[in-house]
């Protein structure tokens, strides 16, 4: 099939219902309600005869999310297999509408007992799962999901190193996935681009009450990730929380599509349920990658030695024992803070 160079990307800023923990029947109803509304919005952005949408991006935690501190067993209970009964619904909708569809689910995998993963998935217009991306960062901050680094050797043996930062090569371009806080670690976007990505789908769930100015900086981070990698970036955030400890509008929203120079080309301003569409031109992007300042000029060998000397998150840190709680991963974080101070890299704050 020849390349499609001009088309529209749609971002869905959905409302999401927190799923039940201990009542399996209610949990199934909650998940299906989230899926039903998501499918209605997919129908909306691809209807009325004026749609040229080929790719749709949806938020993190929009299907089977929960926003409380719960046990590992409860996390595993609300997670689902991929593929499974819920992805079948999404696959059918992608096929019905003939679109590429990026979604996020908490996943349990039969080969990794007592673990769950934060997994973003890209469906093709034939309903097939093209790539799965397991979130690499932030399990020392909110939820105790396992990341590929935590089980690195086994993960690479089973899935291949290419699935750490997977890219789907399609007729609408090469598509990669970023999940929420991965945006703040530039290596995720960079490694995905290095595997060929032209479009970065950012599936995210950003609340209003993040500390240290994080919310104020998300737009800047998206701008930077698009510019420094010469990629389109399409970000879909939660629009409205239902049935959670959080307020209904505890998301800042602001879903957006960025041009490959970082410019915002369309944006939802603020929270609430909404959708946007934006046209892309892949030929312009591909031309820009033949010009100076493209990431081709990265001094990878230069930087690699600095990374190798840095006290960093260990591979295989939880290869033998599943992560029981965020306290397990925060212990590693605290040890890295202490090591940086011990080496004289960082200076501790007063009264630390």
Q: CATH number for the domain including 258?
A: 3.60.110.10
Q: Is residue 22 domain-resident?
A: yes
Q: Is residue 328 part of a domain?
A: yes
Q: What is the rounded distance in angstroms from the CA atom of residue 179 to the CA atom of residue 217?
A: 16
**Domain annotation covers residue 241:** yes
51: in domain: yes
From first to last of its 352 residues, the chain has per-residue pLDDT tens of 789 999 999 999 999 999 999 999 999 999 999 999 999 999 999 998 778 999 999 999 999 999 888 999 999 999 999 999 999 999 999 999 999 999 999 999 999 999 999 999 999 999 999 999 999 998 877 789 999 999 999 999 999 999 999 999 999 999 999 999 999 999 999 999 999 999 999 999 988 765 544 666 888 999 999 999 999 999 999 999 887 777 777 888 999 999 999 999 999 999 999 999 999 999 999 999 998 878 888 999 999 999 999 999 999 999 999 999 989 999 999 999 999 999 999 999 987 5
Structural domain span for residue 227: 6-342
The pairing of beta strand 129-134 with beta strand 117-123? antiparallel
- Residues 6+ away with beta carbon under 8 Å from 120: 60, 102, 103, 104, 132, 133, 135, 177, 178, 179, 201, 203
Task: Find the helix or strand (DSSP H, E) in which 158 lies.
Answer: helix 152-159
Domains in the chain: how many in total? 1
Q: Is residue 348 part of a domain?
A: no
In a domain, 260, yes or no: yes
The answer to whether 176 and 201 have CB atoms below 8 angstroms apart is: yes
Task: Reply yes or no: is the peptide bond before residue 27 cis, omega within 30 of 0.
Answer: no
**36 close to 49: Cβ distance less than 8 angstroms:** no
* Four-CA torsion 46, 49, 92, 238, nearest 10 degrees: 10
Residue 170 · residue 212 · CB < 8 Å: no
The answer to whether residue 64 sits within a structural domain is yes
Flag whether 27 is in a domain.
yes
Q: What is the pLDDT of residues 122-180, one digit of tens each?
A: 999 999 999 999 999 988 777 899 999 999 999 999 999 999 999 999 999 999 999 99
Q: What is the DSSP letter of 260?
A: T
What residues contact 288, with CB distance under 8 A and at least 6 apart?
230, 260, 261, 294
């Amino acid at each position: 099939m020849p390349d499609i160079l001009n088309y529209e990307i749609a971002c869905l800023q959905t409302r999401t219902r927190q799923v039940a923990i201990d009542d399996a029947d209610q949990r199934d109803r909650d998940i299906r309600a989230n899926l039903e509304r998501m499918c209605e919005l997919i129908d909306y952005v691809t209807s009325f005869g004026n749609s040229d949408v080929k790719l749709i991006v949806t938020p993190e935690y929009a299907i089977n999310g929960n926003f409380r501190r719960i046990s590992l067993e409860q996390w595993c209970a609300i997670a689902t297999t991929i593929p499974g009964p819920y992805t079948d619904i999404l696959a059918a909708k992608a096929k019905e509408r003939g679109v590429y569809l990026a979604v996020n689910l908490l996943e349990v995998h039969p080969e990794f007992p007592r673990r769950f993963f934060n997994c973003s998935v890209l469906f093709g217009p034939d309903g097939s799962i093209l790539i799965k991306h397991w979130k690499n960062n932030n399990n020392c901050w909110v939820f105790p999901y396992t990341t590929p680094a935590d089980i690195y050797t086994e993960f690479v043996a089973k899935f291949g190193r290419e699935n750490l930062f997977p890219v789907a090569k399609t007729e609408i371009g090469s598509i990669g996935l970023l999940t929420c806080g991965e945006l703040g670690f530039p290596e995720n976007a960079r490694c995905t681009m290095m595997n060929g990505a032209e479009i970065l789908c950012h599936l995210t769930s950003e609340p209003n009450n993040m500390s240290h100015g994080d919310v104020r900086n998300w737009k800047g981070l998206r701008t930077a990730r698009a510019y420094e990698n010469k990629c389109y970036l399409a970000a879909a955030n939660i629009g409205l929380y239902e049935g959670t400890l959080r307020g209904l509008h505890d998301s800042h929203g602001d879903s957006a599509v960025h041009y490959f120079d970082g410019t915002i080309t369309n944006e939802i301003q603020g929270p609430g349920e909404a959708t946007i569409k934006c046209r892309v031109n892949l030929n312009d992007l591909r031309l820009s990658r033949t010009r100076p300042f493209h990431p081709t000029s990265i001094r990878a060998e230069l930087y690699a030695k600095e990374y190798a000397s840095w006290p960093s998150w260990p591979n295989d840190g939880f290869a033998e024992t599943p992560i029981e709680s965020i306290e397990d991963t925060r212990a590693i974080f605290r040890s890295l803070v202490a090591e940086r101070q011990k080496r004289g890299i960082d200076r501790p704050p007063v009264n630390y």
